[in-house]
Amino acid sequence: MKITVADNSGVCFGVRRAFSLLEEAVENAKKNGAKVFMLGPLIHNPRVIKQYEEKGVSVIDIGSIQENSCVVIRSHGITKEERAKLDRFMGITLVDTTCPYVQRIHQLVEKRSGEGFAVLIMGDREHSEVKGITSMISGDFFVIHPTEFDSKNGELCDFIKAHDKVFAVAQTTSRPANYEYLLKKARKIAAELPGHRFLAAETICTATLKRQDSAGELAKKVGSMVVIGGKISSNTSKLFQVVSEKNKNSFWVESPGDFSASDIEKLKNSETVGITAGASTPDEQIEEIKSFLGSVNG
């Protein structure tokens, strides 16, 4: 079995930055005797979060914050309302690990909605990133997931027709092809409305683009493909979608224990296996899976 790790796999710039800021917060807390809290999971990787919990970092919601503590804002960002609540606490040290790409979307939608644009968002309305984005919008907005393009087509049309100006963005971990499809559909509707303005921003993370491209290319060349990452991770989910469309023998795991006996048999029958990993998957977890596959081959 030849094992190949795709280019651009694993931790992205934003997550690496979040790790660095959290580690610094933990070290400072040790010196000051303060308690460190994550306001929601820093990233969507349960194994990594558990490691930090073992270091004494608790994951809490905003209702459980204690004064005179260190509060770490997750990489997906928080809502405008949550930020206002944090500002009312006394003696809190805030460590903001919000990804710069997410911060940019916050700034864009706040600016455009302030200019009178309604905002069209492609993404998962229940995801913390999208909740943070919508909280920055002062006017009307519409969130649509790629799985809803058909079922909510009528609502999309009504939303665009109801506003003279519409501004579109996508969740940072979205698939480019889905966003392009939505923009084409939206522009077609807008083109039929005299004087209508439709603007769109490129907001998909460049690391996401590179990761999906390299994983998709590798998936076409190997017998089996393994995607590593948290099962609640949006970017890992999109990565698996890309890979599984190119290779029917694709597996999504968080750890070696996630492989079933039948999965292992399929892997044994593959002369070549490709590996890719989501943006919240550290290098040691990639190496762990690589070593496991090597032992299976042995």
- The single residue listed with the structure tokens 């200019």 is 115
Per-residue model confidence (pLDDT) at position 185: 97
- The domains located in the chain, with CATH, are 2-11+206-297 (3.40.1010.20), 13-98 (3.40.50.11270), 101-200 (3.40.1010.20)
Q: What is the DSSP letter of 174?
A: -
Neighbouring CB atoms inside 10 A of 158's CB total: 12
Q: Is 129 a catalytic site residue?
A: yes
Q: What is the pLDDT of residue 195?
A: 94
pLDDT digits (tens, 9 = 90+) for 6-23: 999 999 889 999 999 999
Q: Where would I find the beta strands (DSSP E) of 125-283?
A: 141-144, 165-170, 197-200, 224-228, 250-253, 272-277
Neighbours of 256 (CB within 10 A): 15
Q: In one letter, which amino acid is 253? A: V
Whole-number pLDDT of residue 298: 61
d(CA 91, CA 86): 10
Q: In this predicted structure, what is the pLDDT of residue 224?
A: 97
d(CA 8, CA 252): 17
Catalytic residue among 129, 155, 192, 288: 129
Residue stretches of the chain with pLDDT short of 70:
298
How far apart, in whole angstroms, are the C-alpha atoms of residue 40 and residue 176? 27
Chain segment 79-99, per-residue pLDDT in tens = 999 999 998 888 889 999 999
Q: Order of strands, edge to edge, in the sheet holding 272-277? A: 2-5, 272-277, 224-228, 250-253
For residue 135 the two structure tokens come to: 């909280």
